[in-house]
Amino acid sequence: MVDVQADPLESLRKRTSEKWVSYPPDVLPLFVAEMDYPLAPVIAEALIDRVRASDTGYVAGPLPAGEAFAGFAERRWGWVVDPERVRTTTDVSVGIVESLRRAIQPGDGIVINPPVYPPFFDLVREAGGALVEVPLLDDGNEYGLDLDGIERAFVGGARAILICNPQNPVGHVHPRSQLAALAELAARYDVTVVSDEIHSLLTHSTATFTPFLSVSDAAREQGVAVTSASKAFNLAGVKCALMVAASDRSLALLDGMSVEVGWRTSILGLHASVAALTHGDDWLDGTIAAIEASNALLAGLLAQHLPEVGYRPPSASYLGWLDFSALGWSDDPSIRALAAKVALNAGPSFGTQGGGFARLNFACAPDVLTEAVTRLAQAARR
């Protein structure tokens, strides 16, 4: 396995991405979902190779990415994907909006399950839908989809549901049984399921990711998966995402989109994604190992220095959902955190369930994480 380590802060501060230009240098940026690890060499080489060849025109079609993703899905999850049923687009957000737009009539209800990735609220509106919130269930130990609440929303006329598997920000990997039950409900009420699986490539070794389209015929009939190599390989800026269908019905939904949706894929993004999905397994395993180590470090640091903060370590990806309510840091603890020179994401932006919470990105070096928790702990004692 490759030993993946975060770049030092001096090099990171030379990056021009949102993470590194939004705050002054005395702030540790642990907010937006970008990782501090370097690009996998195999991806860097693919990009440099295409740039050297001046190969920066329009994409010719989705097939290379479809083939690369089908290989990846079979190796990693035993999921058989037909490359001919994969389409590309600019990014996962665009894939979600365009899928939802095709699935509903303007004004129809679209279900989301907060706390969830904040742009979901906007993507539903951008697709012309009306938000129907059915919050995640949380018994204090386990999260879960509220299938009864979802059924009530379907009975009430919602025409689509946008799920997040694994769920950002809580890092919950939805179990097969719940996904299968959701697919049955979707079939019964003829609802389209759009499954955002962008974090699935970063499922930890302690958990098993189940692709929605692999659970049943009902799921294949009702569902579309939208995913990307971008979270796992830090490729958000090169713009390529995959929309996957597994039935004639869902393929018709993808192919009913305007052709521009596919043309807006970046050719550099396509080549980077093909390289990642074809040759990136070792690097990905190293990245997951680094993330798991960071997850354990964060849990230990919080237990030692900030025991008032509630933390249930995620089973996928690198986002920690921290409950500051016992500290009384108001509805939005990221304000106090920023005063302590640590930039976190505001919990309430993930839905009202996020009051008292903040999200911390721990895909960083151990010393950065240690310093961040130290600063937060000092602020708590002040």
Ligand X SMILES: Cc1ncc(COP(=O)(O)O)c(C=O)c1O
- Binding residues for ligand X, per CB under 6 A? 33, 91-93, 117, 164, 168, 196, 198-199, 228, 230, 236, 241
Question: Is the Cβ of residue 237 or residue 325 nearer to ligand X in the bound state?
Answer: 237
Q: Whose Cβ is closer to ligand X: residue 182's or residue 236's?
A: 236
Question: Closest separation between CB of residue 272 and ligand X, Å?
Answer: 13
Task: State the minimum distance, in angstroms, from the CB of residue 250 to ligand X.
Answer: 19
Q: Residue 140 — φ and ψ, nearest 5°? A: 95, -20
Contact 199, 317 (CB under 8 A): yes
Q: How far is the CB of 225 from ligand X (least distance, A)?
A: 12
Query: Least distance from C-beta 197 to ligand X, angstroms?
Result: 9
d(CA 12, CA 330) in angstroms, rounded, equals: 31
Strand partners, 203: 316
Other C-beta atoms lying within 10 Å of the C-beta of residue 165: 27
- The pairing of strands 357-361 and 345-346 is antiparallel
Distant-in-sequence, close-in-space partners of 170: CB < 8 Å, separation ≥ 6: 115, 136, 143, 312, 314, 321
Q: How many CB atoms lie within 10 A of CB 201?
A: 27
In what helix (H) or strand (E) does residue 380 lie, and over which residues does it extend? helix 366-381
In the complex, least distance from residue 33 CB atom to ligand X, rounded to whole angstroms? 4
Residue linked to tokens 């932006």: 349
Q: The tokens of 349 are what?
A: 């932006």
- Residue 35 CB, shortest distance to ligand X, in Å, is 11
Residue 123 or 301 having the CB closest to ligand X: 123
**Whose Cβ is closer to ligand X: residue 125's or residue 188's?**
125
Residue at 171: amino acid letter: G
Coil, strand or helix at 363? coil
Which residue lies nearer to ligand X by CB, 230 or 294?
Answer: 230
Q: Closer CB to ligand X, residue 111 or residue 380?
A: 111
